[in-house]
Amino acid sequence: MVGLADVRGWRPSDLESVFDRLGTHRDALVGLDDELSDTRSPDGWSGDAAEAASLRHDELSEEMRRLVAGLAAVRRGTAEAADALVAVRTALAEAEELARSHGFQVQENGIVVDVAPPQVAPSQVDTVRRERELIRAEVIERVNQVVRRAADIDADLAAVLRAAANDAVDDGESASLVDADAAGAGQGGLSTLGPPTDADPSANAGWWDSLSEAERARLLTDSPELIGNLDGLPAAVRDEANRARLDGERDRLEAEIADLQRRLDDRLLGGWFTDLDDRLDEAREKLAAVDAVENTLDRGDRQLLLFDLSHDQARAAVAVGDVDTADHVAVLTPGFTTTVQGSLEGYDHQMRELRRQAEDESLRYGDGGSVATVAWLGYDAPQADWGLLSPADAVWSREPAQRGAEELADFYRGIDASRAEDPHLTALGHSYGSTTTGYALQQDTGVDDAIFFGSPGLGTSDVADLRIPPGGAYVIEARNDAVADFGGLAPFGSDPNQLDGVTGLSAREERLPDGRRLSESVGHSAYLAPDSTSQYNISVIVSGNEDRAVHDDGRGFGDRLSGLVPDLYR
């Protein structure tokens, strides 16, 4: 069984030397091809001796072809193993450097120990402990994937060597040694290890890092559906893989729509007593979702981080900017009635404007860092349809938010796991999406700040349940926003703007100290309006300039009502 000590002791250069020596032997043997052919029975020689010589020549030729095929298989397997080991050892070095830079150590047996815990203020103990637990868990997953990939390489190469030793490499009925060389090489390739089955973002990141460049390229070409939606992989990789699937999904949906329409047309009663109408509507909606994704990507400077048509609703996440390199990353989760086909382009526009505003604030007063913003439509948001009658799908139910929170938490964790240095990560949640965000943040996610706007509740009545640094939770409530004004009536915990430890940000008309005048956001859907106080406040938090924020408790009629009738809000 392969262990971490074995990986540390492996030397790819030794395999490269073997590859070179095998190449010398291969060249010498293949160089005998013409001579072997010329030694067949001379012209005019006949009789028993000639037949015996011819038979022996054929046997020798077959032995030579099988020898060359076996040698070619081993040579290719050795070359691919050497490349793979370079990638594995690089991945191990990166995991060990991640551990070292945070005060951990990867021991010989693979156990990760905390050798240099930092001294922090008492108020920061819980936050730092959670952050270090996340880092340690990431190191463990990365080391596990290194060992998993090393074991796969070892098993593959051993299988090639056994086949050659047992004369089991088929020469493919070759007519020459050159042909036998090609046939054998075709059987010496190592398999490409698939992603881990548990879908943990750190495990996904470790698996991807353990692959060679050739293996990664092969996966992107042959199996983009395996990697495009894997949290923990680089944003550029996910974008390339998901874009590669768009045309195929469009062709599939168009064919499905044509088939369903034909079947409906052939039926005397149309869609009566069948589900053909519903299936046709769903296929058309998903085709419209593909249109929305492509229209959004056509705007340029976008990354398609999620593209999934396998659920009842289409799912997608599109970034403005480069999530792999941005200093500050913000992820927006919207809520009720959100769909990819109907909402993505609008949210993408808002994210583009927010990114522009945040980068302006970063240049004006902050660290000048770059910003990427993401519209994450990665769960089945409640809809204004028959789902309102289902406790598992209705907007007043916790269940859609709780289900979506699992996916969202992995998306957050994946951003950190995909990068050598974590960005400043801000979670943005609007309306029912703020509830989904609140549930997600009750897990360890690596999120640094969270802004909830138009929120009916965060899934808790205690801000300490949100596993983000103290002071990192913000709420914005606009005037005449009925959803936020009556937050606390729904079964999602207390009204966010009445929670201790949540900082209120203004949505009113304001004048900034530098003279800029900002407009008021009114109602439930104007929080990200350009040049509004609300958008400005979100932008300064996203860009790490929280000291520039304009504060307000945002309390309205519903909040006053809660003071008169507190039992309604328990």
pLDDT tens digits along 181-222: 899 899 999 999 999 997 799 999 999 999 999 999 999 999
Q: In this prediction, what percent of the chain has a pLDDT beyond 90?
A: 71
Average of per-residue pLDDT across 533-539? 98
Is the pLDDT at 57 greater than 60? The verdict is no
Alpha-carbon gap, residue 23 to 83, rounded angstroms: 16
pLDDT classification of 36: cutoffs 50, 70, 90: low
Residue 191: both structure tokens together = 């398999």
Mean pLDDT of the chain: 90
Long-range contacts of 226-230 (CB under 8 A, 24+ apart): 226/194, 226/195, 227/195, 228/304, 228/306, 228/307, 229/306, 229/307, 229/308, 230/195, 230/199, 230/204, 230/414
More confident residue, 418 or 486: 418
Residues 6+ apart with CB under 8 A from 275: none
Residues 6+ apart with CB under 8 A from 501: 463, 464, 470, 471, 473
pLDDT tens digits along 320-336: 999 999 999 999 999 99
Give the three-state DSSP class for 29.
helix
pLDDT tens digits along 450-483: 999 999 999 999 999 999 999 999 999 999 999 9
pLDDT tens digits along 345-354: 999 999 999 9
Residue 221: both structure tokens together = 């070409």
Average of per-residue pLDDT across 124-135? 91
pLDDT tens digits along 432-444: 999 999 999 999 9
pLDDT tens digits along 235-246: 999 999 999 999
* Alpha carbon separation from 161 to 27, 68, 154, 168 (Å, rounded): 20, 14, 11, 10
Give the pLDDT of residue 48: 66
Boundaries of every domain in the chain:
4-222, 294-569
Give the pLDDT of residue 249: 98
Q: In this prediction, what percent of the chain has a pLDDT beyond 70?
A: 91
Is the pLDDT at 502 greater than 60? The verdict is yes
Is the pLDDT at 566 greater than 60? The verdict is no
Quick one: CATH architecture of 294-569? Answer: 3-Layer(aba) Sandwich (3.40)
- pTM over 0.85, yes/no: yes
